[in-house]
Amino acid sequence: MIDIKFLRENPDAVKENIKKKFQDHKLGLVDEVIELDDKRRATQQQADDMRSEMNKASKQIGALMAQGKKEEAEAAKKEVAELKQKIKDLEPVEKELADKVEEIMMKIPNIIDPSVPIGPDDSCNVEIEKFGEPVVPDFEIPYHTDIMERFNGIDMDAAGKVAGNGFYYLMGDIARLHSAVISYARDFMIDRGFTYCIPPFMIRSNVVTGVMSFEEMDAMMYKIEGEDLYLIGTSEHSMIGKFIDTLNDEANLPYTLTSYSPCFRKEKGAHGIEERGVYRIHQFEKQEMIVVCKPEDSKKYYDILWNNTVDLFRSLDIPVRTLECCSGDLADLKVKSCDVEAWSPRQKKYFEVGSCSNLGDAQARRLKIRVKGEDGSKYFAHTLNNTVVAPPRMLIAFLENNLRADGSVAIPKALQPYMGGKTELVPTK
């Protein structure tokens, strides 16, 4: 959510930003919110003027009574009562206008960074850099679920009977590999100075609307029936929510946290053949990282965050690349974002395994995450998030890039301590 003052003073810039995000249907919201905000401020000023008059009249009552001017004192009392009623009548009007302003402001997209490429959708995302040499072996690489089945490592049929499509059972070495990757990612981030945290896996609606747009909320979140609780789609939601309604000393920033959680997502819409198996599912686990920092430091931490993911994947012998997300591919709260994609030797192309985002002060403004400067000034923090690793997509990349011609899978040195010292996985089929 952008600053209403900025919108009032720069309506054309806000409209131009909406056009850059290819959301022309929202252009009318700018003029609408300005008109409503003018009415809200006028109503607020009217109420403030009445409060001033009421206070003035209230002070006069005592003096008039002391002077024996009973009739004038009674008139002043009547005036105070009338003003009090008028103020009471204005309060719901003022609140209704304020609520409408906030509702519209939450639909207007954040101002994107000047460096963001302009384009309508992810087809316009721009490759930034490749890390590692992508290799296509001289033997056929099966689909990822077929690889897992060679190890008796997956059962999607049973999961379908238990929970429906989009769920799975992982078993044996594949399940152990899944847990090993998560544990390795946890220690990897701790070694980089991040504080480890296990957050709540459910959050209230005010946190949901604080961390994402209404469109994202509808497409992703599962609501607990009869309660004001949602299952998290990523631990970033509850991690940023940790700081709701806080005033943080500038000297304590940045907060750098890494968190483990299960994630639950509706994943609405039709998906292609390459998104079957365990690529796009309703439940998975993830290691996440977030930063809460001073505005002037957010660009620096943005680079630190995506580099952490690149370094982790490279430590497991997986080639990756980074893509700059274009304007139309950015969620409304994001200032700038890049995807990390892993190499798929089977598909002979890269696929998304993580996303790094700088949200500026949008989440902080919604959640009231403020900072107290050394000079006593108060301002909104900047928030950032990035995927460390999210099995099972990581497993897809891992299995394909470490598969050998004989069907065994090499375990990179960094992961071996988390696999009981194993240097390879040998198929049972």
Return d(Cα 300, Cα 298) in angstroms, integer.
5
Tell me: do 250 and 331 sit in the same domain.
Answer: yes
Residue that the structure tokens 């290819």 belong to: 22
Tell me: do 214 and 296 sit in the same domain.
Answer: yes
Count of Cβ atoms closer than 10 Å to residue 121 Cβ: 11
Tell me: do 193 and 82 sit in the same domain.
Answer: no
What percent of the chain is predicted at pLDDT more than 90? 82
pLDDT score recorded for residue 388: 97
Tell me: do 27 and 131 sit in the same domain.
Answer: no
- Looking at the domain assignment, is residue 113 inside a domain? no
Tell me: do 52 and 140 sit in the same domain.
Answer: no
- Measured CA to CA in angstroms, residue 38 lies from 29, 34, 41, 117, 230 at distances of 14, 6, 5, 34, 35
Tell me: do 59 and 86 sit in the same domain.
Answer: yes
- Side chain identity, residue 422: K
What does R_g of the chain's alpha carbons equal in angstroms?
27
Q: What is the pLDDT of residues 99-126, one digit of tens each?
A: 999 999 999 999 999 999 999 999 999 9
CATH code, domain with 384: 3.30.930.10
Confidence check: pLDDT of 92 > 80: yes
Tell me: do 66 and 143 sit in the same domain.
Answer: no
- Looking at the domain assignment, is residue 141 inside a domain? yes
pLDDT score recorded for residue 78: 86
Q: What is the pLDDT of residues 381-397, one digit of tens each?
A: 999 999 999 988 999 99
Give the domain extent around 37: 4-105
Q: DSSP letter for 166, please.
A: T
Q: Which of 57, 75, 105 is the last residue of a domain?
A: 105
Q: Which of 70, 105, 140 is the last residue of a domain?
A: 105
Q: Which residue has the higher pLDDT, 65 or 18?
A: 18
Tell me: do 95 and 155 sit in the same domain.
Answer: no
- Looking at the domain assignment, is residue 114 inside a domain? no
Element containing residue 47 per DSSP (H, E): helix 27-66
Pairing of strands 195-197, 255-264: parallel
- Measured CA to CA in angstroms, residue 392 lies from 114, 145, 274 at distances of 34, 11, 14
User: What average pLDDT does the structure give for the chain?
Assistant: 93
pTM to 2 decimal places: 0.90
| Mean pLDDT confidence for 195-206 | 96
Residue that the structure tokens 């301590």 belong to: 417
- Looking at the domain assignment, is residue 369 inside a domain? yes
pLDDT score recorded for residue 302: 98
DSSP 94-110: HHHHHHHHHHHHTTSPP
- Side chain identity, residue 400: E
Tell me: do 85 and 183 sit in the same domain.
Answer: no
- Side chain identity, residue 342: A
pLDDT score recorded for residue 289: 98
Report whether the peptide linkage leading into residue 391 is cis, meaning its omega lies within 30 degrees of zero: no
Confidence check: pLDDT of 421 > 80: yes
Confidence check: pLDDT of 269 > 60: no
Count of Cβ atoms closer than 10 Å to residue 379 Cβ: 14
pLDDT score recorded for residue 272: 56
- Looking at the domain assignment, is residue 117 inside a domain? no
Tell me: do 263 and 402 sit in the same domain.
Answer: yes
Q: What is the pLDDT of residues 225-255, one digit of tens each?
A: 999 999 999 999 999 999 999 999 999 999 9
Return d(Cα 68, Cα 64) in angstroms, integer.
6
Weakest-pLDDT range from 50-54, 191-195, 225-229, 338-342: 50-54
pLDDT band at 307; cut points 50, 70, 90: very high
378, β-bridge pairs: 372
Tell me: do 185 and 217 sit in the same domain.
Answer: yes
Q: Are 391 and 31 in contact (CB under 8 A)?
A: no
CATH code, domain with 74: 1.10.287.40
| Mean pLDDT confidence for 74-83 | 84
Weakest-pLDDT range from 67-71, 81-85, 150-154, 412-416: 67-71
| Mean pLDDT confidence for 176-197 | 97
**Max CA distance (Å), the chain:** 107
Q: What contacts 127, CB < 8 A, 6 or more positions away?
A: 321, 322, 323, 324
Return d(Cα 242, Cα 363) in angstroms, integer.
12
- Side chain identity, residue 355: S
Q: Are 333 and 212 in contact (CB under 8 A)?
A: yes
Q: How many domains does the chain have?
A: 2
Confidence check: pLDDT of 24 > 60: yes
Confidence check: pLDDT of 63 > 80: no
